[in-house]
């Protein structure tokens, strides 16, 4: 019988079926960062247990690391303590830590793929919701909580229920000015923030086939915002080309053998799905969120929807969003004034994101009332961007060019909104207070749209700005 990638990866990693109905699943790669790991390591110490597979465990620092200067000790004592903790834990338990001195520090979901650690056919876990990013390579990757981090450190296994599978086919061709971020925001708008509960999402179709790995990562990254346990794209030549030559990917002869195995893990024609959803990528516009979850999103050419346009069970959250965001239904989203522009995060902090944003930034100056920052996802992204002169393009336009980290995505570091500020953000969550101020407001959009908002001082249609530039 034809199988999906989910079936194959799950079967290959099943240790046993548990009486609870869950699977004891072997985890091929465990990614660790400084925020969700300290308690897990402490529990291991108390239980006098080692890390079972230190060579399958890799750590970095991203959430708390400041982006204006990374000179130690950090000004923030708590950040310095967390930094020392992860250094001690990695030293004591024999885990490889990609800190700044390695030249490969960055957001955990940026450096895994960059180093070639993220590969097809794996199971990947990390104490972070956006672990779904790695699914872009054709694997099963999901976020876990701190007690599960402990379980994986100690046993390399997790007790987990196999999700159902929904295939999402995006056909057609994306119009100019419409990006991977718009595709996933549209999917979440269409299927809802709870639409994926109990599911894994398999993304497919002509649009996904043509996407680069970085674009596929953007799509898979936000699977969790759609409620899905994980999301993936079947591996293909684009995947193998990206991985070839990466420092921690299989090398030389081993690479060809790996490709043969990776190919064998892809979903087969005729495989069964629990559900299939389709959309036409040709009809999409740049998308902007207007509310307090990523499903409250509209095309930049639309107006804030009225409460009665939502199903009954979504009206209350719509009313809540109007009040919190201070946006009136029926008002066009374009023209909404912004105070801050943030380009970065594990959704959109990669080189291709910065290139697209720089293309727009080059066309104008950041408005004087806007604070605009660009935060590369990793040291490698920063190096490549600087080699191309993107940092200079951003600086000339009025953006600040920062050091790598999660920055204002979650604001567990000095990069925070202040008061009721409105932020055009290329990150993934627009929840109340997400960017550091309890009353701060977030509008999610693509990096190019953030750059457009920065130079116009308000939400703007990047297609208009790019008109006549060949994009």
Question: Which residues contact ligand SF4 by CB under 6 A?
Answer: 62-63, 107, 109, 128, 130, 345-346, 406, 409-410, 427-428
**Residue 402 beta carbon to ligand SF4: minimum distance, rounded to whole angstroms:** 13
| Closest to ligand SF4 by CB, 109 or 166 | 109
**Residue 228 beta carbon to ligand SF4: minimum distance, rounded to whole angstroms:** 15
Rounded to whole angstroms, the Cα distance separating 55 from 61 reads 18
Stretch (H or E) spanning 32:
strand 29-32
**Residue 347 beta carbon to ligand SF4: minimum distance, rounded to whole angstroms:** 7
**Residue 126 beta carbon to ligand SF4: minimum distance, rounded to whole angstroms:** 9
| Closest to ligand SF4 by CB, 345 or 352 | 345
| Closest to ligand SF4 by CB, 349 or 457 | 349
Q: Is the distance from CB of 258 to CB of 239 less than 8 angstroms? A: no
**Residue 344 beta carbon to ligand SF4: minimum distance, rounded to whole angstroms:** 7
**Residue 133 beta carbon to ligand SF4: minimum distance, rounded to whole angstroms:** 8
**Residue 124 beta carbon to ligand SF4: minimum distance, rounded to whole angstroms:** 14
| Closest to ligand SF4 by CB, 130 or 216 | 130
| Closest to ligand SF4 by CB, 62 or 202 | 62
Rounded to whole angstroms, the Cα distance separating 406 from 10 reads 31
| Closest to ligand SF4 by CB, 67 or 428 | 428
Rounded to whole angstroms, the Cα distance separating 232 from 223 reads 9
**Residue 32 beta carbon to ligand SF4: minimum distance, rounded to whole angstroms:** 12
Dihedral over Cα of 122, 126, 129, 131: its sign: negative
Closest CA to 105 of 146, 69, 65: 65
Stretch (H or E) spanning 280:
strand 275-280
List the end-to-end C-alpha distance of the chain, in Å, as a whole number. 45
Residues in the chain, total: 471
Identify the three-state secondary structure at position 411. Answer: coil
Instruction: Output DSSP code: residue 291.
Output: S
Query: Would you call 47 exposed, middle or buried from its count of C-beta atoms within 10 A (0-12, 13-18, 19+)?
Result: exposed
Which single residue is written with the structure tokens 């024609």?
Answer: 269
| Residue 314 neighbours by CB under 8 Å, 6+ apart | 192
Q: How large is the angle between the packed helices 213-221 and 108-115, nearest 10 degrees?
A: 150
**Residue 411 beta carbon to ligand SF4: minimum distance, rounded to whole angstroms:** 9
Judged by phi (left if over 0) then psi (alpha if -120 to 50, else beta), residue 113 lies in alpha
| Residue 274: Cβ within 10 Å count | 12
| Closest to ligand SF4 by CB, 224 or 300 | 224
Q: Where are the alpha helices (DSSP H) in 97-163?
A: 108-115, 146-155
| Closest to ligand SF4 by CB, 378 or 428 | 428
**Residue 376 beta carbon to ligand SF4: minimum distance, rounded to whole angstroms:** 12
Give the tokens for residue 352.
């291709």
**Residue 202 beta carbon to ligand SF4: minimum distance, rounded to whole angstroms:** 22
| Closest to ligand SF4 by CB, 357 or 406 | 406
| Closest to ligand SF4 by CB, 7 or 114 | 114
Pairing of strands 23-26, 14-17: antiparallel
Per DSSP (E only), the strands in 127-189 are: 140-143, 157-160, 164-171
| Residue 467 neighbours by CB under 8 Å, 6+ apart | none
Give 63-97 as a 3 state SS string: CCCCCCCCCCCCCCHHHHHHHHHHHHHHHHHCCEE
Which single residue is written with the structure tokens 């000339």?
Answer: 396
| Closest to ligand SF4 by CB, 62 or 99 | 62
| Closest to ligand SF4 by CB, 293 or 428 | 428
**Residue 16 beta carbon to ligand SF4: minimum distance, rounded to whole angstroms:** 32
Cis peptide before 73 (omega within 30 of 0): yes
Which single residue is written with the structure tokens 């709870």?
Answer: 194
């Amino acid at each position: 019988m034809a199988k999906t990638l989910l079936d194959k990866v799950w079967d290959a990693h099943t240790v046993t079926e548990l009486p609870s109905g869950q699977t004891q699943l072997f985890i091929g790669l465990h990614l660790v960062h400084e925020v969700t790991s300290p308690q897990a390591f402490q529990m291991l110490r108390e239980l006098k247990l080692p890390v079972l597979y230190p060579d399958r465990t890799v750590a970095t620092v991203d959430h708390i690391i400041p982006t204006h200067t990374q000179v130690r000790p950090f000004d923030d004592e708590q950040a310095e303590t967390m930094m020392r903790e992860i250094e001690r834990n990695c030293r004591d338990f024999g885990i490889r830590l990609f800190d700044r001195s390695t030249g490969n520090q960055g957001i955990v979901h940026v450096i895994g793929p960059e180093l070639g650690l993220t590969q097809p056919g794996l199971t990947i876990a990390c104490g972070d919701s956006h672990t779904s990013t790695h699914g872009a390579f054709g694997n099963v990757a999901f976020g876990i909580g701190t007690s599960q981090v402990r379980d994986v450190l100690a046993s390399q296994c997790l007790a987990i229920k196999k999700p159902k599978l929904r295939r999402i086919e995006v056909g057609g061709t994306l119009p100019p000015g419409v990006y991977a971020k718009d595709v996933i925001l549209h999917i979440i708008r269409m299927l809802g923030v709870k639409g994926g509960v109990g599911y894994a999402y398999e993304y497919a179709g002509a649009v996904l086939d043509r996407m680069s790995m970085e674009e596929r990562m953007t799509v898979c990254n936000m699977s969790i915002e759609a409620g899905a346990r994980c999301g993936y794209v079947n591996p293909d030549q684009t995947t193998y080309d990206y991985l070839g030559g990466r420092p921690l990917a299989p090398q030389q002869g081993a690479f060809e053998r790996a490709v043969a195995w990776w190919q064998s893990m892809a979903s087969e024609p005729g495989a069964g799905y629990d559900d299939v959803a389709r959309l036409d990528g040709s009809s999409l516009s740049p998308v902007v969120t207007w509310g307090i979850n990523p499903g409250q999103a509209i095309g930049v050419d639309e107006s804030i929807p009225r409460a009665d346009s939502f199903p009954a069970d979504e009206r209350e959250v719509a009313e809540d969003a109007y009040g919190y965001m201070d946006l009136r239904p029926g008002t066009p989203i374009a023209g909404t004034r912004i105070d801050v522009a943030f380009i970065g995060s594990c959704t959109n902090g990669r080189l291709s994101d910065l290139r697209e944003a720089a293309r727009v930034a080059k066309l104008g100056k950041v408005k004087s009332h806007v604070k605009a920052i660009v935060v590369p996802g990793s040291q490698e992204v920063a190096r490549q961007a600087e080699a191309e002169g993107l940092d200079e393009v951003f600086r000339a336009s009025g953006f600040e060019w920062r050091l790598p980290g999660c920055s204002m995505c979650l604001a567990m570091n000095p990069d925070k909104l202040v008061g009721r500020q409105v932020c055009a953000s290329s990150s993934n969550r627009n929840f109340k207070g997400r960017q550091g101020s309890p009353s701060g407001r977030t509008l999610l959009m693509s990096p190019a749209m953030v750059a457009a908002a920065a130079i116009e001082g308000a939400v703007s249609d990047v297609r208009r700005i790019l008109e006549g530039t060949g994009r």
